[in-house]
Amino acid sequence: MFVKIIRSYRDIVAICDSELIGKVFVSQEGNDLGESSAGGKFQLDVKESFFKGKKVSEEELKKIIWNMSGEDAIFNIVGNKSVGVALETGIISEEGVKKIQGIKFAMVLI
């Protein structure tokens, strides 16, 4: 998994499964996202420039999530493994997880 912390007014923590870097996922109306897609297409672009940071283990990622959850941060999480780790830490719940083409993702504003 990759994690990248982008320092700004409100820190952004970008987390994703390493095999998803550079991929684009598109949902058609009525697929995956249902009502949240507002009746149209939804695109998830896992850009290398945004998501590719330090490659970390599950334990390292948990520590980073716990540390950054105490900050005024935004979390962008993409991938079934990455979302699973975030669920384990309690930073997100199942209700906050969406899927597109079978790939889980979540956004959290602390």
Could you read off the pLDDT of 43-92 as tens digits, one per residue? 999 999 999 999 999 999 999 999 999 888 999 999 999 999 999 999 99
Q: 7 or 35, which is more confident?
A: 7
pTM for the model = 0.87
Please state whether 24 falls in left (phi above 0), alpha (psi between -120 and 50) or beta: beta
| 59 domain-assigned | yes
CA angle 94, 99, 105 (to 5 degrees): 70
C-beta atoms surrounding 98 within 10 Å: 18
pLDDT over 80 (residue 37): no
pLDDT at position 86 is 97
Instruction: Give me the percent of the chain exceeding a pLDDT of 90.
Output: 78
Q: Decide if 16 contacts 79 (C-beta within 8 A).
A: yes
What's the rounded Cα separation, in Å, for the pair 59 and 20?
Answer: 20
CATH code for the domain of 54? 3.30.1860.10
Average pLDDT of every residue of the chain: 90
Helix 80-89 × helix 58-69 angle, to 10°: 50
pLDDT at position 35 is 43
pLDDT at position 71 is 84
| 25 domain-assigned | no
State the total domains in the chain: 1
What's the rounded Cα separation, in Å, for the pair 86 and 52?
Answer: 18
| 38 domain-assigned | no
pLDDT at position 34 is 44
Which residues constitute the domain of residue 103? Answer: 2-20+50-109
